[in-house]
Amino acid sequence: MQIRRVVTGISADGKAEIASDSYVQAITVAAAPGLEFHRLWGVDGVPVLPGERETSAALPYFPTAPGLRFGLFTIPPDRTLAPTELDIDAALSEMEAKLPGLAGHMEPDNPGMHTTDTVDYEFVVSGRVILELDDGVTVELGPGDTVIQNGTRHAWRNPFDAPCQMVVALIGATRA
């Protein structure tokens, strides 16, 4: 799915303007068919106004404090299988190139489980998904549901028939 991103700014004479208007293509990786990431905006550090006209795709996937990321995340049904002839090293290299730092947060022995130093605001747009926490604690979420993820260990599971699309805002945090 193409997502349109309109960014406002301030012109040289101090007037509000459209700084950029473009489409953002989904980022996909061969190891996870159907999984899509739309990286819409990101800043490392405290945002400064009037702000940038474009965001950098080279930013790490997860922000450090006080950075932020904003985007869409689509989780395919669990039954969507990875290719049988997958070169793991090539797949990890592809993921690192397209989504810097994401794979490094994933637990190798428990696929999908991860912990980040972020507060994540997540809003389910369509589909359904299971949020899994420690000790098998789960909650089912559907359209209109929100999650405030406070740096906890978690994974997203989709045992349903349709993809789940979520709007996500990730805010870098410090862990006490």
In the numeric block, which tokens belong to residue 160? 């349903």
pLDDT for the residue 88: 82
Closest among 169, 164, 114, 175 to 147, alpha carbons compared: 169
The string of pLDDT tens digits covering residues 120-173 is: 999 999 999 999 999 999 999 999 999 999 999 999 999 999 999 999 999 999
Q: Into how many domains does the chain fold?
A: 1
Amino acid letter at 104?
G
CB atoms within 10 A of CB 35: 20
pLDDT in tens, 2-30: 899 999 999 999 999 999 999 999 999 98
**What is each CA distance from 165 to 43, 94, 99, in whole angstroms?**
23, 22, 18
Cβ neighbours of 162 (radius 10 Å): 11
Q: How far is CA 155 from CA 76, 101, 113, 152, in A?
A: 13, 17, 4, 10
Q: Which of 175, 173, 171 shows the shortest CA–CA distance to 41? A: 171
CATH number of the domain bearing residue 145: 2.60.120.10
Give yes or no for residue 57 having a pLDDT over 90.
no
Residue 163 φ then ψ, to 5°: -60, 155
Q: Which domain holds residue 49?
A: 3-172
